C-alpha cells in the first residue's frame, strides 16, 4: 500500500483540492512551484507502464480532470503537467500521479 492509497482511504491527512468517484487531487507536501498539486486515480495503478486497455476510460477521465483542477486553482495563465514513470524517470511513489504545477513562469528544459 502506498502513501497515496493511505490518502485516498483518509488514513493520512492531505490538503485535498478536488475529488470525484475516480480520482483525487491534493497539494504536494514538497512543492516545486507556488501551486503544485498531484492528481491520482483511486484505482491503484503503479505507473504509466502498468496501464492496460481496460484503463482507457480512466486515462481519459484523468486528462479531462487536469484542466478542471487547474481552473479551480486559478491557473488561467497556464500550467505544466508531469508524469514521472519508473525510478529513472523520477517516480518516487509507485502509484500513478500527474503533477500540476503553476502560478509562476516555468522554464524548459525541466530537471
Q: Kindly provide the b/e burial profile for residues 56-81, where b requires at least 16 CB atoms within 10 angstroms of the residue's own CB.
A: eebeeebeebbeebbeebebeeebbe
Measured distance CA(68)–CA(83) in Å, rounded? 17
In a domain, 59, yes or no: yes
User: How many structural domains are present in the chain?
Assistant: 1
Residue 111 forms part of a structural domain? no
Catalytic residue, chosen from 36, 95, 97, 99, is 97
pLDDT of 111 strictly over 80: no
Q: Whole-prediction pTM value?
A: 0.95
Q: How confident is the model at residue 67 (pLDDT cuts 50, 70, 90)?
A: very high
Between CA 83 and CA 99 the distance in angstroms is 6
**Residue 77 counted as domain residue:** yes
β-pair partners for 46: none
Position 57 in a domain: yes
Q: Which domain holds residue 41?
A: 3-102
To the query of whether residue 97 is one of the catalytic residues in this protein, the response is: yes
Amino acid at each position: 500500500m502506498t502513501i497515496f492509497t493511505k490518502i485516498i482511504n483518509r488514513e493520512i491527512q492531505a490538503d485535498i483540492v478536488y475529488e470525484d468517484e475516480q480520482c483525487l487531487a491534493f497539494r504536494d507536501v514538497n512543492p516545486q512551484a507556488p501551486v503544485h498539486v498531484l492528481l491520482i486515480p483511486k484505482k491503484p495503478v503503479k505507473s504509466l507502464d502498468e496501464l492496460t486497455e481496460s484503463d482507457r476510460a480512466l486515462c481519459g477521465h484523468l486528462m479531462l480532470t487536469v484542466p478542471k483542477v487547474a481552473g479551480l486553482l486559478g491557473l488561467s495563465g497556464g500550467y505544466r503537467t508531469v508524469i514521472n514513470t519508473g525510478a529513472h524517470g523520477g517516480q518516487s511513489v509507485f502509484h500513478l500521479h500527474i503533477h500540476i504545477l503553476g502560478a509562476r513562469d516555468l522554464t524548459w528544459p525541466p530537471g
